[in-house]
Amino acid sequence: MRNISFSDRLVMLADNALKTIAGGYQVTSRPSPAKNADTSELTSEEAKHSAGLMRINHCGEVCAQALYQGQALTARLPEVREKMEQAAAEENDHLEWCANRLSQLDSRVSLFNPLWYAGSFTIGAVAGAIGDKWSLGFVAETEHQVVRHLQSHLAKLPQSDHESRAILEQMKEDEMHHATVAVAAGGADLPAPVKSMMHLMGKVMTSTVYYV
């Protein structure tokens, strides 16, 4: 296998960004968890609320893609880069599931996705440049916060929205696995101020993307 140059990697990253935002990304063979869920009967208000929550989750997966790709660009060890790229590939399933559920709810993804992708990619690239153990620690903390965020959404979903609930349950399981892998690979525990900043950014994202 030939070595991939830095310029080649930049082209691949640009391609990934376009596919993440516009569609066309590669997914695994896993079917959507919603496929085997009971059919939901939602009122118009319940459907609107579920769509707002699923739009947040879709945008979160866009951010996750950007974080992983940014970290893969600047990771120093090949095995760390491979872990980042593998995690990004697995997150594509979540993107697909959330986008399909939004369509079923007669809604759309966030108009702010390109901005959140750009910001998250930059943060990921900086984390990767600081050092692999901090980059992996950043992944672990991101996934831990995402798990808590998903848990809160499971509590907020309408009880009758079985399809969205099934999707979020599987996403939560996947994110916990990614966090465990990052810690096992040598991820460092981030300082409390960094964790607080990440939490604050998450609140800004969720409060805007729910509506737009």
pLDDT of residue 1: 42
- Does the domain made of 6-23+45-209 have the CATH classification 1.20.1260.10? yes
Query: 178 a known binding residue?
Result: yes
Listed as own residue / partner, the contacts of 2-7 with beta carbons closer than 8 Å and 24 or more positions apart are none
pLDDT of residue 2: 52
Regions of the chain where pLDDT drops below 50: 1
Token code pair at residue 149: 């965020």
Please state the pTM of the whole predicted model. Answer: 0.88
CB 160 within 8 Å of CB 40: yes
Domain spans in the chain, listed from the N-terminal domain onward: 6-23+45-209
Query: 199 a known binding residue?
Result: no
pLDDT of residue 117: 92
pLDDT of residue 28: 79
Query: 45 a known binding residue?
Result: no
Query: 143 a known binding residue?
Result: yes
In 3D space, the residue among 153, 122, 142, 134 whose CA is nearest the CA of residue 50 turns out to be 153
Contacts for 138 with CB less than 8 Å, ≥ 6 apart: 67, 71, 124, 127, 187, 190
> pLDDT of 179-190, one tens digit each?
888 888 888 888
CB environment 157-192: b (16+ within 10 A), e (fewer): bbeebbbbbbbbebbbebbeebbebbbebebbebee
> pLDDT of 6-45, one tens digit each?
778 778 878 888 888 888 777 877 889 999 899 889 999 9
